[in-house]
Structure 1
């Protein structure tokens, strides 16, 4: 996934800056962004599939112990048995199967040379933004309510954040998201150091995890 992001500083190569803002011409994406969406979708899909399988096994057999139950903190089973794991009345991983499957399909289309209308890119950006909000609610619940972490869930967290960031950056650079000249310049500068924000984002979450479960981590030192 890292290799796929190195070219996202120029996501407008497939569509000139003027194309995205008018809403008339379809907007493509760089190969790097297309590959990121495709691989990110597959990674999220795989994690969601494992979580769905384990959830079904737990429903069949309440004493089933998922393979990712490693210790009192890293414990998928503890997370899967909570109300937060079925916040919409059905297992959350089913959302992942649908959403990440769609993202993988979009990435595959872009790799094949597809271009999408402005409304499509805005809808994709909105969808990833909703995903980020939902993921951070789940992070809050896992840390401060449930008190346990699920490795596959954390893979989903990271994937959603990365996909949101690079989709937003692409939309700003191509003019899909209307922006003044100054903001476009800022977006261009951000594209030069596109890796910095996801790394900082991940570092903040890692520090929150370290602080929340320090009582346990300290016993391993």
Structure 2
């Protein structure tokens, strides 16, 4: 089903997939490079380890960073490469069959579920935030949301509200979880 004038987001969806996928791909790429450096030298401090809260190194060394037996960013490299390619193809005028959109929906849904599990793990188990991981969170949810709306062929002029509520909820959880640190910066 190509994004047509009858589709909910004829212009938004291709650009969201292209740009959001590229941001996710870049973040996954940087995390992969940082993880390789950390594997080579356990004393390496990743560039995204900024303070006790914003600390990729703390996140990368935990078991949650390799859920399937290999570094999680490798999933991002594969998944975001697909998303970026689909966005570019749509911008070039490609039309995909229904089975393709269903497959993309399965992929972005699994990605969204995994991201929420990682958010929970970062906040409440690892108790540290990875800036590049947060970039992945920030693009995965809109990608999931708009692919879902496209597949349901449901358009509402209030489509950004769920995303805004999600962002407020995650930012509130981050603020609450790390308030004791944040208030020392004030």
TM-score normalized with structure 1 length: 0.80
User: Once superposed, which parts of structure 1, at least 4 consecutive aligned residues long, lie more than 4 Å away?
Assistant: none
Q: 2:90 aligns with which of 110, 133, 143?
A: 110
The aligned residue for residue 140 of structure 1 is 120
- The Cα shift of 1:31 comes to 2.5
Q: In terms of Rg, which structure is larger?
A: 1
What RMSD, in angstroms, separates the aligned Cα atoms of the two structures?
Answer: 1.7
Aligned partner (choices 157, 160, 180) of residue 215 of structure 1: 180
Q: Which runs of 5+ in 2 are unaligned?
A: none
Q: What's the counterpart of residue 59 of structure 1?
A: 39
Q: 1:118 to 1:29 in 2, by over 3 A?
A: farther
Counterpart-to-counterpart distance in 2, 1:13 and 1:123? 16
Alignment of 1:192-203 (within 5 A): 192-203=157-168
How many residues align? The count is 186
1-side partners of 2:93 and 2:5: how far apart? 11
Aligned equivalents of 1:16 and 1:29: distance in 2? 9
Structure 1 counterpart of 2:4: 14
Task: Normalising by structure 2, report the TM-score.
Answer: 0.95
Inter-partner Cα distance in structure 1 for 2:180 and 2:20: 33
Q: CA deviation at 1:35?
A: 1.0
How far residue 108 of structure 1 moved from its aligned partner, in angstroms, is 0.7
